[in-house]
Chains A and B, each alone.
Chain A
Amino acid sequence: MTMAEKTSNKTVLFNPFSKNNPVIVQILGICSELAVTAKLEPAIVMGMSVIAVLAFSNVIISLIRNTIPNSIRIIVQLVVVAGLVIIVSELLKAYAYEVSLQLSVFIGLIITNCILMGRLEAFAMANKPWPSFLDGIGNGIGYTIILVIVAFFRELLGSGTLMGYQVVPQSFYDAGYVNNGLMILPPMALVVVACIIWVHRSINKDLQED
Chain B
Amino acid sequence: MNKQSNTYTLIYIIVLVALVGTGLAFTSMSLRDRQQQNIAAEKMRQILASVHIVPDKGQVISDFDKYITEQYIVDAAGNRVEGDAFDVDVAKQVALPAAERRMPVFECTLADGSRKYILAAYGAGLWGPIWGYVSVDADASTVYGAYFGHQGETPGLGAEIEKPAFSDQFQGKQMFKDGRFLPVEVVKAGQKPAGDNDYVDGISGGTVTSKGVSAMLDNCLTSYSEYLNKIRS
Also in contact, A72 and B20, with CB within 8 A (given A90-B35, A105-B152) = no
Also in contact, A83 and B155, with CB within 8 A (given A93-B35, A97-B42) = no
Does B9 belong to the interface (CB within 8 Å)?
yes
Does B31 belong to the interface (CB within 8 Å)?
yes
Does A2 belong to the interface (CB within 8 Å)?
no
Task: Produce 1/0 per residue, B1-37, CB < 8 A to A.
Answer: 0011000110011001100100110011001001100
Which residue on A lies nearest to B41, using beta carbons?
A97
Also in contact, A68 and B156, with CB within 8 A (given A79-B20, A101-B42) = no
Task: Produce 1/0 per residue, B143-177, CB < 8 A to A.
Answer: 00000000110111100000000000000000000
Q: How large is the interface on A (under 10, 10 to 19, 20 to 34, 35 or more residues)?
A: 20 to 34
Measured CB to CB, the closest approach of chain A to B188, in angstroms, equals 16
Cβ B16 vs Cβ A76 within 8 A = yes
Cβ B23 vs Cβ A83 within 8 A = yes
Chain B residues contacting A159 (CB-CB under 8 Å) are 156
Residues of B in contact (CB 8 Å), total: 27
Chain A residues contacting B28 (CB-CB under 8 Å) are 90
Bound together, the chains give a CA A101 to CA B46 distance in angstroms of: 13
Measured CB to CB, the closest approach of chain A to B148, in angstroms, equals 14
Cβ B31 vs Cβ A91 within 8 A = yes
Also in contact, A184 and B13, with CB within 8 A (given A94-B38, A97-B38) = no
Bound together, the chains give a CA A68 to CA B156 distance in angstroms of: 45
Measured CB to CB, the closest approach of chain B to A88, in angstroms, equals 10
Bound together, the chains give a CA A94 to CA B39 distance in angstroms of: 9
Measured CB to CB, the closest approach of chain B to A107, in angstroms, equals 13
Chain B residues contacting A158 (CB-CB under 8 Å) are 156
Also in contact, A184 and B157, with CB within 8 A (given A71-B4, A97-B38, A97-B42) = yes
Measured CB to CB, the closest approach of chain B to A68, in angstroms, equals 7
Cβ B151 vs Cβ A104 within 8 A = yes
Bound together, the chains give a CA A72 to CA B12 distance in angstroms of: 10
Chain A residues contacting B152 (CB-CB under 8 Å) are 104-105
Chain B residues contacting A119 (CB-CB under 8 Å) are none
Does B193 belong to the interface (CB within 8 Å)?
no
Measured CB to CB, the closest approach of chain B to A168, in angstroms, equals 15
Cβ A38 vs Cβ B155 within 8 A = yes
Also in contact, A184 and B31, with CB within 8 A (given A67-B3, A69-B3, A79-B17) = no
Task: Show 16 A/B contacts (Cβ-Cβ < 8 Å), sorted by A.
Answer: A38-B156, A39-B155, A68-B12, A72-B12, A72-B13, A76-B12, A76-B13, A76-B16, A79-B17, A86-B24, A93-B38, A94-B35, A97-B35, A101-B42, A105-B152, A184-B156
Q: 10 closest A-B pairs (Cβ-Cβ)?
A: A184-B156, A97-B38, A94-B34, A94-B31, A69-B9, A83-B20, A38-B155, A93-B35, A94-B35, A90-B31
